[in-house]
Amino acid sequence: MNLPRRLLIAAAAATLAAPATAQAPDTALAAALASPSRSPTNVKRDRYRHSAELLKFFGLKPTDSVLEIQPGGGYWTEILAPYLQPQGSYTAAVPDLTPHEKDLQATFSQKFPDVHTIPFGHGPLGAPGSFDLILSFRNLHDWLEQGRAKPLLEDIYTALKPGGIFGIEDHRAPADKPQDPKAANGYVREDYAKALVESVGFKFLTSSQLGDNPKDTKNYPDGVWDLPPTLRGGEKDRAKYLAIGESDRWTLKFTK
């Protein structure tokens, strides 16, 4: 990613010059969030993502080595890469098995040419214990659909340092209905996800309500993808789905 020189200089200066307090990382994070290099489309999503608060919840520090799993279009990449560049590191784990995944990887690499990427989904994610913080945003439902959630979580567990943090978020399924093993509508029960992640060795720490959206009724013709940002139905009921906003999400924090 061609990160603006002025942003990197400002982020580094703010982080290095600030006192070593709990507020020190926030100055650089604020600079990354306010960067004019961010996509306007992504900036509009901030009200649903609660970016600064969520990263603080996961305990992000400017010196961390961070791995993001399947970064998609790079919403978090635009924030994390410049924030971590002065003192830490950011790596994106991008799947590249199918033709579609290869196309996504090519698009991501073209958009962020300076970001370090590693393949995801067919082997170790670097040396064991490589990362302080590993993040996964709305990927678990895909892994369930593919029938490979547990081995992928095992790879993530191996890549995390002892004492490191694994932060995971996904669309929240109703707790009073059975979990579809394939998560065909994109929703995953919070208790189901917690048990699955714990089954590979992670220790649950806490959860956050930052992604709560009580307007999300979770009963749409095309599942969660009827909601923004996908709006799979096009103009059909568009105003209704925009009024609901992005999905209701659980956010879980684990350690190794």
Rounded-to-10 torsion of CA 212, 190, 97, 129: 100
Tell me, what's the pLDDT at 27?
A: 86
Nearest CA to 75 among 107, 36, 43? 43
Cα 239 to Cα 241: distance, rounded to the nearest angstrom: 6
Domain residue ranges in the chain: 46-76+86-255
CATH topology (fold) of 46-76+86-255 = Rossmann fold (3.40.50)
- ∠ Cα 16 19 24 (to 5°): 70
Tell me, what's the pLDDT at 97?
A: 79
88 half-sphere exposure, CB direction, 13 A CA radius = 24
Please count the other Cβ atoms lying within 10 Å of the Cβ belonging to residue 61. Answer: 16
Tell me, what's the pLDDT at 21?
A: 40
- pTM (two decimals): 0.89
Q: Across the 256 residues of the chain, what is the mean pLDDT of every consecutive 10-residue run?
A: 45 42 67 94 94 96 97 96 96 89 89 95 93 98 97 98 98 97 98 98 98 97 96 95 97 98
Between the CA of residue 47 and those of 41, 43, 53, what are the distances in Å?
12, 8, 11
Nearest CA to 126 among 92, 85, 96? 92
Tell me, what's the pLDDT at 234?
A: 94
Tell me, what's the pLDDT at 3?
A: 52
What is the b/e burial string over 106-130, where b = at least 16 CB atoms within 10 angstroms of the residue's CB? eebeeebeebeebebbeeebbeeeb
Dihedral sign (CA 142, 146, 150, 156): negative
Cα 222 to Cα 224: distance, rounded to the nearest angstrom: 7
Tell me, what's the pLDDT at 132?
A: 98
Dihedral sign (CA 59, 127, 3, 109): negative
Nearest CA to 250 among 201, 179, 200? 179
